[in-house]
Amino acid sequence: MRLPCAKPLPFIVLGLSFLQPGLTNCQFNNMTLIATALVLGSGFNLSSISRMWLEDKVVSTLSSFLSDAKFYVPELQLLYAKRILQVYDIKEGYFLIDDTMKHHSKFCKWIHGVFVLFDHAVGTNLKATCIVFLYYSDGGFIKFPISFRIYYQETSKMPWQRRKKHQYKTKYDLATEMLEWALKVGFPKSIVLADSWFCMGPFIKDLLIITDFGEVYDTLPKKPKCLDFVTSNYDI
């Protein structure tokens, strides 16, 4: 963080108050202090705030906080989803599925979720956290992340694991899990957009099982030479 702070900003406390049922007073106070430091350090600039979430000091601070806070993440995700459904009039739109990597230095050992992974964008193995996420868009102005899952390697061993086993799931299994969860908590059935490598046979079958009807099709039936990836649509 760039600026020290001793008291959280009132509008941050109010904005995050929907998470209080899932946190202790100490946890909530620490979370709002971190968010306050991030906002103050960014000069209240939304673009700077967005970039700062991925800066090394912020990642380190959040990693330390999240590792030791011991709160139940699924409960907070549920509170977040319920808040979204209260704030927005959600109608049919688009579920976007993708994964992203947060790169770390080769000496990184203790940040949760870090493995040696192959990054297609740079064409090499490196230490990174791979996050599979589910995003919603109405095709216009309303857009926000719904949920996320950390991808855990099946055999890799890193010091941060502290000999604890984390269940291995493929990326398309994680995507299916999030879609089922989103529909269960109240999001409407929508078109699913995903990169072509998510579209394995099991993923297609799971999509058709989630609902009683389904139509599967490619938006780009032939891969253009100028594109590295093909996006596929799944209407559920």
Domain range for 23: 1-71
Q: What residues pair up with 124 in beta bridges, in sequence order?
A: 119
User: Final residue of a domain: which of 37, 71, 105?
Assistant: 71
Contacts of 197 (CB under 8 A, 6+ apart): none
Highest mean pLDDT of the ranges 64-73, 74-83, 99-108, 189-198: 74-83
Q: Is residue 77 part of a domain?
A: no
Structural contact between residues 99 and 130, judged by C-beta atoms closer than 8 angstroms: yes
Structural contact between residues 168 and 154, judged by C-beta atoms closer than 8 angstroms: yes
Lowest mean pLDDT among 150-164, 173-187, 214-228: 214-228
d(CA 219, CA 234) in angstroms, rounded, equals: 9
Residues 29-57 have pLDDT tens digits of: 888 888 888 888 777 777 787 777 767 77
Rounded alpha-carbon distances, angstroms, from residue 165 to 117, 150, 153:
18, 14, 11
Please report the pLDDT score of residue 218 as a whole number: 59
Dihedral through CA 102, CA 133, CA 235, CA 87, nearest 10?
-130
Q: Is residue 76 part of a domain?
A: no
How confident is the model over 59-85, as a mean pLDDT?
Answer: 81
Q: Is residue 24 part of a domain?
A: yes
Q: What residues pair up with 118 in beta bridges, in sequence order?
A: 125
Tokens 């209260």 appear where?
86
* 229 and 125 co-located in one domain: yes
Q: Is residue 16 part of a domain?
A: yes
Structural contact between residues 148 and 131, judged by C-beta atoms closer than 8 angstroms: yes
* 53 and 95 co-located in one domain: no
Number of domains in the chain: 2
* 57 and 5 co-located in one domain: yes
* 136 and 179 co-located in one domain: yes
